[in-house]
Structure 1
Amino acid sequence: MAHTASTPGPARSAEPGGINPWAAGGITFAGVLLLVDGVLGVIKGITGIASDEVYRRVRNYTFKFDVSAWGWIHLVLGIVLVCVGWGILKGAAWARATGVVLAAINLIVNFIWLPYQPVWAIISVAIDAFVIWALCTEGSKAVI
């Protein structure tokens, strides 16, 4: 049976057990974005560790950390995100669930980090939100 659907729809295809190409493309894109977000995290981390003068100093902030501490947080999280993004691209079963959890953690970390570097933080939050959505919407198993 030929599959000719060219519009996005439910994550399932008309064929039993098939995955809609839109869902598969979203998962691949999520893997690439997780890789990119991880690389950005590594860059943010190295920058914060190397120089305390790059990021804005924040006063009277509940989540105030030393810039070096933020650097290490972003570096470690970035390395892990790169590994999970690679796992998603390779089709590893563990990588999708791990990707959702780590993207959520990274989203929270970047939200807390927002006063230090607003533009980078907002970009990372947007990437993480899309990654979570893409990895959660592939419908290989029906929810209802």
Structure 2
Amino acid sequence: MFKRLLAATAVAATLLLAGCGNDYGVDQHGEKVASERLDKQWKVINYWAEWCGPCRVEIPELNALEGQLQGQSVGLFGVNFDGLQGKELNDASTALGITFTVLAQDPADTFDLPRSEALPVTYIIDDKGKVRAQLLGEQTAAGILAKLKELKG
């Protein structure tokens, strides 16, 4: 009887641990964002809004950055400052030409991000989940890549 209980407990623990990983919700297209895309890798998280002029200028740079980050264990993610969801988030992302993943669920609590009242704001988070940089204002792909190199080096 004890062996069965022990075996059942082991199976339950394995199933629970297999499901571990943070829940990052869905993206602007309603697709689930797998925890593997954010956990245990560096992250660049950019907050934007439709009404933010510098955000609109910065988005093509971020789109270019996404391609340059391929194969580097760094993910690029956007977050709508106004908390748009569903169709509104998709429409805003499409209107601004965003091609990188936009998280519908704000990860600020998960990564202990300070709330910024200025936009755009970009955070660089290391593979352990620690905020390593807060970049205020419009960024360039080259500038973010240089900052990543500096922080990782």
Same fold (TM over 0.5): no
- TM-score, scaled relative to structure 2: 0.27
- TM-score, scaled relative to structure 1: 0.28
* Bigger share in helix: 1
